[in-house]
C-alpha cells in the first residue's frame, strides 16, 4: 500500500480511514475513564490528532482507526506539531492522549500484533523547561474580591454564596472541579474539616481555619441543610435551588467579581497558587502543603511557589560566608 506523507508526518490513506467505523471505539473507551473536565480537554486533543493523522480528512476521534497507527506514523508527530507552532507542553499533552487511546485499542483486541502497539506508543515526550505560569494574589486583592461580593445589592444571596466560594477555594487550595464536586455531606464544621474529591477520584481531608468558617455558615443559612451539592445555583430573584454549579460557572463568577473589585486579571487556578505560596511563605513544610493541595509529588507543589525574588534574596542573606574581610578577621591583609 502506498505511503502518504504530510511534511514530517506519515498519514493514513483514504482507504485506511474507512476501516474504523464498524469497530469498537478506543477513543470512547479512553474518554469514559476521565472526569468531565478531562474528557473535554482530551476529546479536543484526540480530534486534533485524528485531523493530523488523516491529513485533514477526518476530525472525528470516535470513528478514527487508531489501531492502524504504527511507529512510522507516531514517530513524526512531535516534529510536525512543533513545526506548525504547538508549544512543547501542548505536544506532550497530545502524546499522553495518543498513548492512552492506543492502549485502549490494544485492550479492545484491535491490534493483532502486540509489537505493533508497543512500537507505536514508544514516542518520547519533549523536554520542557518553562517558567511557572500564573500569579499569586495579595491578601488585599482577596479582601477586595470578598468586599465586592458582600456589596452585591442586586442579588445579596449571590454575594453570600460567592463569598463562601472564594473563601473556601483559598482556604483549602481547591481546584474549580473540586469546588463544584463538594456536597454538604463532605462538610464537618464542628471539626472544621472538609472531604475533597480530587484528581483520579482520590479523596483527602483538609481543615478550615477558624476565620473561614463564618463565610460557610452564612451561606448555609441561605442554602439550607438539605443534602446535595454544597454550592448551588441561584435565580435572578435570589431563589436558591439544589442544582450543582459547573466548573465553567466558577470561572464566570470569579471573572465577574474580579472586574467588580478592580483587581488585576487572574485565573481560578491562581487562587490555588496563592494558597500554596502563602503556606510555603508561612514556613509550612512542603510535604504538608503537598498533602493539603492533593499533589502526588512535592515537586509539583514546588512549581506552584510564587514567592517573590525578595524571598530568595532574604534566604541568601541568612547564610554565613566563609570569606572574612580584614576588619572582621582581625588579621593583617594578605597582600602580594
- Is 302 part of any domain? yes
pLDDT for the residue numbered 2: 40
Cα(77)–Cα(108) distance, integer angstroms: 24
Residue 189 contacts residue 217 (beta carbons within 8 Å): yes
- Is 194 part of any domain? yes
Domain that holds residue 165: 139-308
Mean pLDDT, the chain, as a whole number? 85
Name the catalytic one among 100, 272, 273, 306. 272
Q: Please indicate whether residue 269 is annotated as part of the active site.
A: yes
- Is 78 part of any domain? yes
Name the catalytic one among 269, 302, 303, 307. 269
What mean pLDDT do residues 141-163 have? 93
Name the catalytic one among 199, 244, 255, 307. 199
Q: Please indicate whether residue 199 is annotated as part of the active site.
A: yes
Q: Is the domain of 269 the same as that of 214?
A: yes
Q: Please indicate whether residue 304 is annotated as part of the active site.
A: yes
Q: Is the domain of 266 the same as that of 170?
A: yes
- Count of other CB atoms within 10 angstroms of residue 62: 15
Q: Is the domain of 294 the same as that of 229?
A: yes
Q: Is the domain of 165 the same as that of 304?
A: yes
- Is 248 part of any domain? yes
Query: CA-CA distances (angstroms) from residue 270 to 175, 185, 229?
Result: 10, 27, 24
Q: Is the domain of 292 the same as that of 161?
A: yes
pLDDT for the residue numbered 160: 94
Q: Is the domain of 159 the same as that of 266?
A: yes
Name the catalytic one among 175, 176, 257, 273. 175
Residue 186 contacts residue 180 (beta carbons within 8 Å): no
Q: Please indicate whether residue 236 is annotated as part of the active site.
A: no
Q: Is the domain of 199 the same as that of 72?
A: no
Lowest-confidence range among 173-187, 242-256, 276-290, 297-311?
Answer: 297-311
Q: Is the domain of 72 the same as that of 147?
A: no
- Is 109 part of any domain? yes
Kind and range of the H or E run holding 161:
helix 156-172
What's the CATH number where 261 sits? Answer: 1.10.443.10
Judge whether residue 20 has pLDDT over 80: no
Name the catalytic one among 94, 161, 257, 295. 295
Q: Which of 93, 120, 147 corresponds to the end of one domain?
A: 120
Kind and range of the H or E run holding 203:
strand 203-207
Q: Is the domain of 169 the same as that of 279?
A: yes
Q: Is the domain of 150 the same as that of 235?
A: yes
Domain count for the chain: 2
Instruction: Note the pLDDT tens digit of each residue in 23-63.
Output: 889 999 999 998 887 888 899 999 999 999 988 888 899 99
Q: Is the domain of 296 the same as that of 153?
A: yes
Instruction: Note the pLDDT tens digit of each residue in 214-224.
Output: 999 999 999 99
List of residues 6+ apart from 142 with CB closer than 8 A = 166, 170, 274
Judge whether residue 312 has pLDDT over 70: no
Tell me the three-class secondary structure of 64-90, residue by residue: CCHHHCCHHHHCCHHHHHHHCCCCHHH
List of residues 6+ apart from 138 with CB closer than 8 A = none
Instruction: Note the pLDDT tens digit of each residue in 85-137.
Output: 888 889 999 999 999 999 999 999 999 899 999 999 998 888 875 556 778 88
pTM score, two decimals? 0.60
Q: Is the domain of 27 the same as that of 78?
A: yes
Name the catalytic one among 30, 111, 117, 304. 304
- Is 52 part of any domain? yes
Q: Is 13 exposed, middle or buried (0-12, 13-18, 19+ CB in 10 A)?
A: middle
Judge whether residue 325 has pLDDT over 90: no
- Is 202 part of any domain? yes
Amino acid at each position: 500500500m502506498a505511503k502518504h506523507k504530510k511534511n514530517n508526518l506519515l498519514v493514513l490513506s483514504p482507504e485506511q480511514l474507512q476501516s474504523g467505523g464498524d469497530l469498537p471505539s478506543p477513543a470512547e473507551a479512553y474518554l469514559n475513564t476521565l472526569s468531565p473536565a478531562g474528557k473535554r480537554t482530551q476529546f479536543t486533543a484526540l480530534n486534533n490528532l485524528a485531523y493530523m493523522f488523516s491529513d485533514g480528512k477526518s476530525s472525528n476521534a470516535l470513528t478514527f482507526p487508531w489501531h492502524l497507527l504504527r511507529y512510522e506514523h507516531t514517530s513524526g508527530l512531535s516534529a510536525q506539531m512543533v513545526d506548525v507552532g504547538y508549544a512543547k507542553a501542548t505536544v506532550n499533552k497530545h502524546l499522553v492522549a495518543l498513548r492512552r487511546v492506543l492502549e485502549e485499542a490494544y485492550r479492545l483486541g484491535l491490534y493483532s500484533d502486540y509489537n505493533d502497539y508497543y512500537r507505536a506508543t514508544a514516542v518520547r515526550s519533549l523536554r520542557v523547561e518553562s517558567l511557572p505560569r500564573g500569579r499569586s494574589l495579595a491578601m488585599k486583592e482577596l479582601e477586595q474580591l470578598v468586599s465586592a461580593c458582600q456589596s452585591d445589592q442586586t442579588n445579596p444571596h449571590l454575594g453570600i454564596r460567592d463569598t463562601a466560594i472564594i473563601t473556601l477555594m483559598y482556604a483549602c487550595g481547591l481546584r474549580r472541579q473540586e469546588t463544584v464536586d463538594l456536597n454538604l455531606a463532605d462538610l464537618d464544621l464542628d471539626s472544621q474539616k472538609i472531604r475533597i474529591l480530587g484528581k483520579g477520584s482520590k479523596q483527602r481531608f483538609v481543615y478550615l481555619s477558624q476565620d473561614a468558617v463564618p463565610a460557610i455558615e452564612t451561606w448555609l443559612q441561605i442554602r439550607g441543610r438539605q443534602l446535595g451539592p454544597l454550592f448551588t445555583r441561584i435565580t435572578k430573584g435570589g431563589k436558591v435551588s439544589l442544582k450543582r454549579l459547573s466548573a465553567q460557572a466558577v470561572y464566570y463568577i470569579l471573572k465577574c467579581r474580579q472586574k467588580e473589585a478592580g483587581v488585576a486579571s487572574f485565573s481560578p487556578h491562581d487562587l490555588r497558587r496563592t494558597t500554596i505560596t502563602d503556606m510555603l511563605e508561612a514556613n509550612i513544610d512542603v510535604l504538608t502543603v503537598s498533602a493539603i493541595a492533593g499533589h502526588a509529588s512535592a515537586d509539583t507543589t514546588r512549581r506552584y511557589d510564587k514567592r517573590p525574588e525578595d524571598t530568595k534574596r532574604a534566604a541568601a542573606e541568612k547564610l554565613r560566608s566563609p570569606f572574612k574581610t580584614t576588619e572582621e578577621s582581625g588579621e593583617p591583609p594578605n597582600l602580594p
